Amino acid sequence: MAKAEKNTEGGDDTSGLSKKRGLQKGETFVPGPALRPKDAATLILIRRDSKTPRVLMGKRAGGSAFMPNLYVFPGGRVDAGDARVPSADELAEPHLGKLLQANIDASRARGLAMAAVRETFEETGVIIGSPSGAQRVKTKSNHWQPFYDTGHMPELSPLRFVFRAITPPNRSRRFDTRFFLLFADETKADVPEHLTGSGELEGLDWIPLSDMGDIEIPTITETVLKEVRTRLEDTNAKRPVPFVQFKRGRPSFEQH
């Protein structure tokens, strides 16, 4: 279970979420009953091959229903096939255990990690995987076959579960998103410097963590990046995972 307590590491609310009672950047208020949040996953992919670590981000199109015109990490909804298709390995501890603390089973936890890998490939073309050898995988999942056709199997063991956030009520889209951190040098596949992507995210680029003030990002992303910067200095794998959701119109900060 998530442990309800103040986020005392770096302050109660390091990005100003608790100071804002209205909509956050990129959000639209929708009256009526709140939508049930859908499982989603995001990958925070970081390069450490320069003096300043750089993170992969892209800009959502202006016509997007969710967070238009804002820079985001690659990610999206979990697909039904994500938990079932094969991978080269599985999530490692303690990250699997932290996911399971939120009252989900191992299959659902695996599906979240696989969704982060798949969405990253679909939106950016980056392969998080290891070569599958001469035998190519065939699957009934149309979402996964293009990945396997590259000659790779998804890698899950290098992924670190580092953040969870649920979209506030009365929004046009609601997601229960798990954020996974991955260092580009820890995957067996080559992570290119120059990216073309699929067009789903515009202006794909490796953005220095020190230059985030030059782009427009969602408020929750500011909070996540604060945690990422802390983790670059604090490498303790057992560090608690922040969990942000809204209760009675105010952000609630808990930990896994």
Confidence of residue 225 (pLDDT cuts 50, 70, 90): very high
Confidence of residue 27 (pLDDT cuts 50, 70, 90): low
| Percentage of the chain modeled with pLDDT above 90 | 57
Q: Give the pLDDT mean for 77-104.
A: 94
Higher pLDDT, 150 or 212: 150
Q: Tell me: the pLDDT tens digits for 131-150?
A: 988 778 999 999 999 999 99
* Chain position carrying tokens 């950016």: 124
User: Do the beta carbons of residue 86 and residue 97 sit within 8 Å?
Assistant: no
Q: Tell me: the pLDDT tens digits for 145-166?
A: 999 999 999 999 999 999 999 9
Is the pLDDT confidence value at 25 over 70? no
Confidence of residue 125 (pLDDT cuts 50, 70, 90): very high
Instruction: Using a cut of 0.75, tell me whether the model's pTM lies above it.
Output: yes
What pLDDT is attached to residue 23?
62
The span from the CA of 93 to the CA of 87, in Å, is 17
Cβ burial 131-169 (10 Å sphere, 16+ → b, else e) = ebeeeebeeebebbeebbeebbbbbbbbbbbbbbbbbbb
Q: Give the pLDDT mean for 90-118.
A: 95
Higher pLDDT, 7 or 25: 25
Is the dihedral angle over the CA atoms 81, 183, 98, 89 positive or is it negative?
positive
| Percentage of the chain modeled with pLDDT above 70 | 86
The span from the CA of 117 to the CA of 41, in Å, is 9
User: Domains in the chain, ordered, with CATH?
Assistant: 3-255 (3.90.79.10)
Is the pLDDT confidence value at 127 over 60? yes
**CA proximity to 87, closest of 42, 32, 127, 28:** 127
What pLDDT is attached to residue 68?
60
Question: Residue 1: how many CB atoms within 10 A of its CB?
Answer: 8
The span from the CA of 147 to the CA of 126, in Å, is 10
Q: Give the pLDDT mean for 100-129.
A: 95
Is the pLDDT confidence value at 111 over 80? yes
What pLDDT is attached to residue 248?
78
Q: Tell me: the pLDDT tens digits for 3-20?
A: 443 333 333 444 445 444
